[in-house]
């Protein structure tokens, strides 16, 4: 038995090369229920990791919490444990008007407004998903016939804009971002630095620029149903290639 990783508390020898990650530990458990031979590999704070097989291939599922600084701890420890492919499955807010609740977003790259990657690489460094992973996700989405969009997302460190500086979502939408979330840029940059293949498929649970009166409510059946489909898509893409 190797020494456990400091934060994930997993034995690197137990961690397979392919990992599906998501913010919510409860969602990680939901994903892990789909695995054959499921077992918990580690648990500490908001970070839980499960191992098992999907269609005969060894995979793991791990939660990374909310926000890039905490999430990049997970990505780095997984890399040090020998992981070679990571796909993020999570929720996002649509920015483009056509991104509706329950739609899927296939992420090709991320704008680095996350607050942590500036400490990892210079400002001009891009945050890009791996082409082969994007292709695998695209194939998996196509097999479901679910409504989807593909493009660049904004990875932002701020969930609720404050009254002093306000928000900049409209600016980034005009620049081409189709959705906003909080972790993809950190995943893609960490993947580039560690020679991992990475990607992400997300579910839109609202649209902050085109929201009807009544506010934000991610706890609706249209979102839950899409999340179930997203998990299946992520697992299928994880073992494709």
Q: Which helix (H) or strand (E) holds 31?
A: helix 25-32
Residue with tokens 């500490």: 44
Chain segment 51-99, per-residue pLDDT in tens? 999 999 999 999 999 999 999 999 999 999 999 999 999 999 999 999 9
The pLDDT value given to residue 170: 92
Non-local CB neighbours of 41 within 8 Å, separated by 6+ positions: 8, 10, 11, 14, 15, 49, 50, 51, 60
Q: Which helix (H) or strand (E) holds 229?
A: helix 221-238
The pLDDT value given to residue 167: 82
- In the chain the domains, ranked by start, together with CATH numbers, are 12-238 (3.40.50.1580)
Is the pLDDT at 20 greater than 70? The verdict is: yes
Catalytic residue check, 58 = no
Catalytic residue among 24, 114, 205, 236: 205
Is the pLDDT at 213 greater than 60? The verdict is: no
pTM of the model: 0.96
The pLDDT value given to residue 214: 58
Is the pLDDT at 44 greater than 70? The verdict is: yes
């Amino acid at each position: 038995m190797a020494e456990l990783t400091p934060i994930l508390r997993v034995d690197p020898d137990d961690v397979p090369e392919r990992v599906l990650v998501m913010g919510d530990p409860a969602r990680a458990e939901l994903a892990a229920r789909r695995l054959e031979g499921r077992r918990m590999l580690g648990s500490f704070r908001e970070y839980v990791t499960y191992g098992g097989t999907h269609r005969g291939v060894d995979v793991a599922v791990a939660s990374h919490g909310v926000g890039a600084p905490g999430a990049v701890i997970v990505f780095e420890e997984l890399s040090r444990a020998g992981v070679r492919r990571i796909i993020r499955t999570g929720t996002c807010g649509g920015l483009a008007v056509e991104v509706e609740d329950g739609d899927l977003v296939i992420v090709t790259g991320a704008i680095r407004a996350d607050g942590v990657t500036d400490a990892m690489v210079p400002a001009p460094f891009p945050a890009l998903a791996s082409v082969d992973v994007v292709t695998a996700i695209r194939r998996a989405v196509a097999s479901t016939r679910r409504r989807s969009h593909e493009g660049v997302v904004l990875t932002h460190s701020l969930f609720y804009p404050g009254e002093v500086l306000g928000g900049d979502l409209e600016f980034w939408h005009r620049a081409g971002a189709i959705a906003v979330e909080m972790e993809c840029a950190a995943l893609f940059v960490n993947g580039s630095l560690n020679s991992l293949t990475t990607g992400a498929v997300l579910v839109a649970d609202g649209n902050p620029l085109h929201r009807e009166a009544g506010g934000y409510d991610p706890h609706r059946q249209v979102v839950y149903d899409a999340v179930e489909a997203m998990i299946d898509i992520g697992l299928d893409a994880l073992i494709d290639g």
